[in-house]
Amino acid sequence: MRRAFKATLIGGCLMILAGGVAFASGGGGGGASAGGGASMPSGGGPSYDPATEYAKAIAALKANDFKTASRAASHVTDAVPTNPDGWRLLGVAKAGESDWKGSRRAYEKLVKLAPDDPTSHAGLAVALANLKDAKAQAEADWLKSKAQACGDSCPDAARLKSLNDTVQSALAPAPAGAPKPSAMLDRSFMFGGAKAGDAAYVQAVSLINERRYDDALASLSKAEAAFGPHPDILTYEGYAWRKKGDYAKAETYYRQALAIAPNHIGATEYYGELKVARGDIAGARVMLAKLDKVCAFGCADAEELRRWIDAGGDPQKN
């Protein structure tokens, strides 16, 4: 029987139950007995909790405290360098400080991580324009092409028009005394807060149970915009991509989750299942040995991964 996921809101803290194991939002992977995460592991984890630093950066941006936002966003990128959210915040914060070189570096990294994201290219275009770099035009052209392909009626039409207008304002010579284009290219990630993020997360879990993985990923993206690179969110993003058959992308999310919370039980189990699906039984056994240490005494996650290993794949399909 296919395992179902359940999400429950308890006192403003989102609890995710999968196979009887709870993952708590707010801190990451947690200790061996908790199976989820009110606290960071003592060894091997990053110096900063990226979800906490992400929240600090958002609060600072709302207050136009770009220096504090930049510092907090840098902590996010240090902790999870392959996650785009921290780089997006850092690009905005650096632009707010008029540190255009710093903003350019952040957006260049973001474009590599999210090459199809219009905000990434718009932010890079604005940074390059302020540096009088001719490469800004190429980014503007990319954005214009994206808007033309979208047309006037696609869901992103208004957003793309706004981004295009901002980029063109940055490229055009500004009349004397005219205000500079806003460094805040996209304010949507700053609003909604934890309540909207929790709602998106709960919806994503329901969509995963319905095997609507594309819709689930869209909801998880909204949750991540609210909470930043939280290991629970990353784990479910990896799960959805694995179910869609994109093992490479799934692995990036599992690795991000485990970089933040090395003892995260869900990420460890699912990464082990991914390794089985790829034929890496030895790698899966490493994940199982880890689960046996951090999730002993009737751990459903360890038993599930053990079934995958014994079956050489998804036991429900064999």
Q: Using the predicted structure, report yes or no on whether residue 29 has a pLDDT greater than 70.
A: no
Q: Using the predicted structure, report yes or no on whether residue 19 has a pLDDT greater than 90.
A: no
Lowest mean pLDDT among 12-16, 246-250, 304-308: 12-16
Give percent above pLDDT 70 in the chain: 79
3-state secondary structure of 299: coil
Element (H, E) at 13: strand 13-18
Q: How far apart are CA 156 and CA 52, in angstroms?
A: 30
Q: Using the predicted structure, report yes or no on whether residue 38 has a pLDDT greater than 50.
A: no
The distance in angstroms from the start CA to the end CA of the chain is 12
Compute the 3-state secondary structure of the chain and give helix, strand, coil in percent, each to the nearest 5.
Answer: 65, 5, 30
Q: Could you tell me the pLDDT band of residue 21, with boundaries at 50, 70 and 90?
A: very low
Q: Dump strand ranges (E) for 135-249.
A: none
Q: How far apart are CA 203 and CA 309, in angstroms?
A: 31
Beta bridge partners of 15: 8, 24
Q: Dump strand ranges (E) for the chain.
A: 5-10, 13-18, 21-24
- Average pLDDT over all residues of the chain: 81
Structure token digits, residue 282: 């030895």
Q: Could you tell me the pLDDT band of residue 316, with boundaries at 50, 70 and 90?
A: confident
What would the pLDDT profile of 47-86 be if each residue is shown by its tens digit?
A: 678 989 999 998 898 888 999 999 999 999 998 999 998 9
Closest to 255 (Cα-Cα) out of 277, 276, 231: 231
What would the pLDDT profile of 251-282 be if each residue is shown by its tens digit?
A: 999 999 999 999 999 999 999 999 999 999 99
- Show the DSSP H helices in 97-156 as ranges: 100-113, 118-130, 136-150
Residue-level length of the chain: 318
What single letter denotes the amino acid at residue 85? D
Element (H, E) at 62: helix 50-62
Q: What is the pTM of this model?
A: 0.72
Q: Using the predicted structure, report yes or no on whether residue 289 has a pLDDT greater than 60.
A: yes
